[in-house]
Amino acid sequence: MVNYQEILQDIYTEIASSENEGKIASYIPELAKIDANKFGICLTNLVGREYHVGDSDERFSIQSISKVFAASLAFSILGDKIWERVGVEPSGTKFNSLIQLELENGIPRNPFINAGAIVVADMLITHLKHPKNDYLEFVQKLAGENSINFDFSVVDSEKDYGYRNAALINFMKSYGNIENDVDEVLDFYFHSCSIEMSCRELSRAFLIYANHGILASTGEKVLDKSQIKRMNALMQTCGFYDEAGEFSFKVGLPGKSGVGGGIAAVFPKEYSVVVWSPKLNKKGNSVYGLKTLELLTTKSGLSIF
């Protein structure tokens, strides 16, 4: 039996004593205020047992990790129709690239780059009665925690500096791939990215991707096995921007990163794990987070490969 608590403690001690050469995401000013030395890890297994070290209870802005939840909710509502407006291929370019959109007639490569997540936001606005509240309640249900909320200071910061996202949505609108009002869609998108969660809460929320789409706490089926298979495949191939291949090579788990410094990953039928450390590498992924997950699969001897 794997002693996850001992492994996590060893990893935390080893990494925390090493130099972190990353930089905080300053292009969203509110994120630049975070203590760069924060570092937390939480692993939750299928029976709900949690193993955690460091700042695992402190909430942070989950940013692009939220795109997994948004795509999952849209997938549960629309089924395979979701893929008519957003693709399932790795982008190979920056997460906010405009060039690729023009070459592909306004159809984003996948739902985890900004353009794809904005299209998913547009879908949810069309099909949800109270989009922001309904989406927040969906995330709260996955985590089993009703106090989870948006960080409104981050929402405002995203709005004030979201020029590239505004360009993306208007570009897609010109191709007919945005149905609703541009400002309404951007408002929903900024809110969804600004949800605050801790490592422990995120780890619980991601457990459905390790558990065939079933909430371990209640037995409710959120997504079917086929949908979970596809969401995990997307995380494996597209979850780390243009560094997805390297993450798959070094770590070997489906996962998703965010510029708030979080990384969530799953080992199907075994566990979900979340790492938070705000300093990012040049491709927008947490430096300590990547090292942590590489060491986790190495020390435990478990990956999907």
Provide CB contacts within 8 A for 226, sequence distance 6+. Answer: none
3-state secondary structure the chain: CCCHHHHHHHHHHHHHCCCCCCECCCCCHHHHHCCCCCCEEEEEECCCCEEEEECCCCCEECHHHHHHHHHHHHHHHHHHHHHHCCCCCCCCCCCCCCHHHHHCCCCCCCCCCHHHHHHHHHHHHHHCCCHHHHHHHHHHHHHCCCCCEECHHHHHHHHHCCHHHHHHHHHHHHCCCCCCCHHHHHHHHHHHHCEEECHHHHHHHHHHHCCCCECCCCCCECCCHHHHHHHHHHHHHHCCHHHHHHHHHHCCCCEEECCCCEEEEEECCCEEEEEECCCECCCCCEHHHHHHHHHHHHHHCCCCC
Model confidence over 227-279: pLDDT tens digits? 999 999 999 999 998 888 999 999 999 999 999 999 999 999 999 999 999 99
Q: For position 62, what pLDDT does the model report?
A: 98
Tell me the C-alpha distance between 112 and 105, whole Å. Answer: 18
Establish if 262 belongs to a structural domain. no
Model confidence over 106-130: pLDDT tens digits? 999 999 999 999 999 999 999 999 9
The residues that bridge with 274 in the sheet, in sequence order, are 42, 264
Model confidence over 53-108: pLDDT tens digits? 999 999 999 999 999 999 999 999 999 999 999 999 998 777 778 888 888 899 99
Q: Tell me how many domains the chain contains.
A: 1
Establish if 278 belongs to a structural domain. no
- Binning pLDDT at 50, 70 and 90, where does residue 300 land? very high
- Binning pLDDT at 50, 70 and 90, where does residue 304 land? confident
Establish if 238 belongs to a structural domain. yes
Question: Residue 54 sits in which domain range?
Answer: 4-257+283-300
Q: For position 217, what pLDDT does the model report?
A: 83
The half-sphere exposure of 185 on its side-chain side, counting CA atoms within 13 A, is: 27
Establish if 226 belongs to a structural domain. yes
Establish if 149 belongs to a structural domain. yes
pLDDT exceeds 90 at position 21: no
Mean pLDDT of the chain: 94
- Binning pLDDT at 50, 70 and 90, where does residue 44 land? very high
Establish if 129 belongs to a structural domain. yes
CATH number for the domain harbouring residue 39? 3.40.710.10
Give the Å distances, CA to CA, from 263 to 107, 167, 187, 250, 297.
26, 27, 24, 14, 14
Establish if 275 belongs to a structural domain. no
- Binning pLDDT at 50, 70 and 90, where does residue 185 land? very high
Tell me the C-alpha distance between 41 and 278, whole Å. Answer: 13
Establish if 268 belongs to a structural domain. no
Model confidence over 128-172: pLDDT tens digits? 999 999 999 999 999 999 999 999 999 999 999 899 999 999 999
